[in-house]
Structure formats: C-alpha cells, structure tokens
Amino acid sequence: MKPFYHLGTVTRINIFVHWTTVVMFFGLFLYYLWRGVSLGAALAGVLLIAVVFGCVLLHELGHALAARHFGIGTRDITMYPIGGVARLERIPRVPAHEFWIAVAGPAVNLGLAAGFFVFNLLTGRPLSIDALLPPRTTIPGMLMWVNLLLAGFNLLPAFPMDGGRVLRAWLAARLPYHRATRIAAWIGQAMAILFGLAGLLDFNPVLVFIGLFVFLGARQEVRAVAETERTGYGYPGPA
C-alpha cells in the first residue's frame, strides 16, 4: 500500500492523502452499513465527511497562499484523519509573517462559517448548534458550526497548532526565537496533557490522540528550531 496518494494540484500545490485517511473513509462506510442504513445513506454520510475534509483543505490552502504572499513556497499539503498539514519550504523569518500565515487558516473557516450563516439566515434554516444533532440536522447548519469549531480549536494556544504559532510569533517579537519556541512548546505540551487527561477521564480516544499529537508536535518543533539555530537559519528575534 502506498503511504500517500496524489489527489491533484491546486494553485501549483500538490495535494496528497495519507493511506490512513482512505482506510478511515472505508471504515466509516462499513460502519454505516453495519448500523443498518441504506447504501445511499452510507454513501451520503461518507460524502458529508468528505465535504468537512474539503473545509480542512481550504484551511490549509489559506496557510499556503498567505505564505506565498510573503515569498514562502509550500512543498505540498497532506490530508490525515485528524486534519491537514501544509509543509512550507522554510520557517517564516519575520514574526509578523508567521502571525499572518498562522491566522490565515482559521480566517478561511470563519469566512466559510459566515457564508453558511448568511445562507441559513436567508433560507430560514436553524442557526442554533442543534443543527449538528438529529433530528434537526441540516447540512448548511452543520457546516457552519463545523467551520466555527475548526477555527476556534485551531486558535487554541497549543503549539504547534495555529494558535500556538500565533503565540510564538508574538513572543518572538520580544524574545529570541529559540526561547519563544520553547515557551510556546511548553504551553502546548501542558495543554496536550490536559487533552489527554480529559480523554482518559471521558473515555474519549480522540482527545487522547489529539493530546499525543500536540505533545509530540511541540517537542519536534523545538528540535527543529534548535537545528535551524545551530545552522544559523530562521529569524533570531530581539536580543
């Protein structure tokens, strides 16, 4: 089995999907059938999840296009079961650039949520969060709330998520870059531990997995910055 599958190219950026994402979609399809729904309903359920992943892809494209604005290319975007990752060619050297690149993704989700809000308002569909739950579930209402939740979750100051990168950019304007990264990473790892504990107490494996992902991601980012500092690469921040 290939580790990655090429979906296509958007604005000269290659889009890949990891094999675990393919397995997840196939597993969801089988789960829907196991629950006794019709073949059409199972396909519709998988298609709806695919639309949500489309919103996540637009989020990542927001990062990539903001980075391009500042002269930073994007190697590719890969979709995983827990979200997408846009691999930039280099770390932004200016704190303000990292700030705008980080907020561009959540800004896309807020824009999508605003669009669905207007559509729901004009068509008389429910605007409350009940739209996420049956029997009041509506696709436009669900997508409005999903995009709001994506924006809010990504803006949590848990490095290396978008909110953590915003925090590092703010700190790097005042502190040396490596120190700003370590502080942001410590905060991210603390939040990751809280995610993990909440998942264990609530028997929620998704929260545990997110906590592990954030914890390891923060540690990896510290190592990467240590390497770039050793080779003189990256923006130093104020002395």
CA distance 230 to 233: 8
- pLDDT of res. 231: 56
Q: How many CB atoms within 10 Å of residue 21?
A: 20
Q: What is the pLDDT of residues 73-108, one digit of tens each?
A: 999 999 988 788 898 888 887 999 999 999 999 999
The residues annotated as belonging to the active site are: 60
CA distance 12 to 191: 35
Higher-pLDDT residue of 232 and 39 is 39
Which runs of consecutive H residues, i.e. helices, occur in the chain?
A: 19-34, 39-69, 95-123, 139-154, 162-172, 177-201, 205-230
CA angle 179, 86, 89 (to 5 degrees): 65
- pLDDT of res. 136: 62
Cβ contact 69:59 at 8 Å: no
Q: What is the pLDDT of residues 175-224, one digit of tens each?
A: 888 888 888 888 888 888 888 898 888 878 878 888 888 888 777 777 77
Cross-strand partners of 74: 88
Strand 13-18 and strand 4-10: the pairing is antiparallel
Which percentage of the chain shows pLDDT scores above 70?
A: 90
